[in-house]
Amino acid sequence: MIKIIYEDNHLLVVEKPINIPVQSDSSKDTDLLTLLKNYLKKMYNKPGDAYLGLVHRLDRPVGGVMVFAKTSKCASRLSEQIRNGGFKKVYYAVVEGNIFENGLLKDKLLKDRCTNTVKVDSNGKDAELYFEKVGYKDNLSLVRINLKTGRSHQIRVQFSSRGYPLYGDHRYNKNCKKNSQIALFAQSLSFNHPITKEKLIYSISLPDRYPFNIFK
């Protein structure tokens, strides 16, 4: 069952569970978009396929707060906010090592479409984030991240390229333990309601699992 955080005639805000894709992919595994469309069809007795606009994404292993648009008009307006920088996302991550207190990370990131991996490369697209260290224990640092751009695998690559890979990141952490879960969580979203223009902020608690729970 997907946790519904907020819903009105225009928006659907939910908590994405870990390890499910946001939309259908080659794995053919059940995806979040399909689950939510089925929820809308059942909840409102919709005869055909329910519309639900996907305006942003989270990597498959990452959980956290997401917003979907229930009309194409709202999807267009939310996408415009994303392009104009009015759509704010806050993440928490646990990285390996005692990272410096805070910083602005700026890189150019290039994605290999064949391998679905990303690297720092001068031919890539601009990627920028600001982070603050909010905890340190057992050679792990808890960081709060404000994304300025939303590149694929951005957080994971920007930290790993500086020697602070995310705990549990099987793609970019060479020392990752076999059965560990990536310690990256989309904790908060803020944006203007696409119809009423009201400022909306949705925040959820960090997961009660290792390694997030060692910082309580």
Catalytic sites, residue numbers? 59
| Cα separations in angstroms, 19 against 22, 23, 31, 60, 80 | 9, 12, 10, 5, 28
Kindly provide the b/e burial profile for residues 42-58, where b requires at least 16 CB atoms within 10 angstroms of the residue's own CB.
eeeeeeeebebbbbbeb
> Distance between CA 67 and CA 15 in Å, rounded?
9
Which residue type is seen at 147? L
